[in-house]
Amino acid sequence: GNYDAMVLLKEVDDPTRFGVAKFDEEGRLVKLVEKPREPPSRFALVGVYFLKPVIFDVIRDLKPSWRGELEITDALQMLIDRGFNVGYDFVRGWWFDTGKKDDILTVNAKILDERITGCVRGVLENSKVEGRVDIGEGTRIINSVVRGPSIIGEKCIIRDSYIGPYTSIGNNVSIIGSGVEYSVIMDNVSISGVDRLDECLVGRYSRIVRSEGNRRTVKLHISDYSEIIL
């Protein structure tokens, strides 16, 4: 249709966690409610919006919310209130809200289940690959076991290690004498001497090593809102 804006919606089990759509008796979108205590429907905004330039006129009139932010739901509601045509469609495949670590790991596992083909471009040296595993060019797997579904990026070194199912490893990663399973390891990470990392999300340029001295001592350099489980 000739819409001024369009949103994508997904039916969810707990709509109180999301921005939620309200419809009139004819199925028209009439209101967007952010994290309602009593949801008007079970259809949540998934964070995908199609907008025409008129949205910038609305944004200029927006006031910050109680969070001190300009809210996209407020902008869309202002379009509706001013009589603009805001349409919607439904997401028919799977969708997850990836706002937390566990959500990202769940999506990672889902994608690995669906997308991994078992394409090995790297080099295996005295190593074993079980199941579907994609290995990028320039990567060396030495004296290690890798179980799929998993993916290892380009120019990585995996030595004397175990890489378990549902693990995604970025480019230029070094994993030595360690075990990693059900985790996402981003680019340029170094892991050494760690018996097992499980259900971990490790950001770029991180370094995780086992101390050669007092093994009861834990030394941390972490960012805001981090979580450490020992």
Q: List per-block mean pLDDT (blocks of 10 residues) for the chain, which spans 230 residues.
A: 91 90 92 88 93 93 85 91 94 86 94 96 97 98 98 98 98 97 96 93 90 68 72
- What distances in angstroms separate CA 65 from CA 5, 40, 54, 99, 213, one per listed residue? 21, 21, 21, 20, 51
List the structure tokens of 147. 């179980």
In a domain, 138, yes or no: yes
Contact indicator for 155, 175 with CB cutoff of 8 Å: no
Which of 90, 111, 134 is a domain's end point? 90
What is the chain's length? 230
pLDDT confidence of residue 216 = 66
Do 37 and 73 share a domain, yes or no? Answer: yes
State the pairing for strand pair 207-209/190-192.
parallel
> Measured in whole angstroms, how far is the alpha carbon of residue 15 from the centre of its chain?
20
**62 & 26 share domain:** yes
Calculate the CA dihedral of residues 167, 173, 179, 185 and round it to 10 degrees.
-40
Contact 193, 176 (CB under 8 A): yes
Asked whether residue 224 is domain-assigned, the answer is: no
Could you tell me if 62 and 119 lie in one domain?
no
120: which DSSP letter?
Answer: B
Do 71 and 120 reside in the same domain of the chain?
no
What are the φ/ψ torsions at residue 73 (nearest 5 degrees)? Answer: -65, -35
The whole-number pLDDT of residue 217 equals: 67
Cα–Cα distance measured from residue 91 to residue 163, given in angstroms and rounded to the nearest whole number: 34
Say yes or no: 64 and 132 in one domain: no
pTM: 0.80
For 131, the token pair is 């199941």
The CATH number given to whatever domain includes residue 27 is: 3.90.550.10
The total number of structural domains in the chain stands at: 2
Neighbours of 205 (CB within 10 A): 11
pLDDT of residue 33: 87
Q: What is the pLDDT of residue 230?
A: 63
Q: Domain with 204 in it: what CATH number?
A: 2.160.10.10
Task: Please give the residue range of the domain that contains residue 135.
Answer: 102-209
- Residue 199 lies inside a defined structural domain of this protein: yes
Q: Which of 120, 130, 192 shows the shortest CA–CA distance to 154?
A: 120
Closest CA to 31 of 69, 70, 74, 65: 74
Evaluate whether residue 217 is within a structural domain. no
pLDDT for res 218:
67
Q: Are residues 123 and 189 in the same domain?
A: yes
Please tell me the predicted confidence (pLDDT) of residue 100: 82
Instruction: Evaluate whether 58 touches 75 at the Cβ level (below 8 Å).
Output: yes
Smallest CA-to-CA distance from 154 within 135, 182, 180, 175 is with 135
CA distance 183 to 10: 27
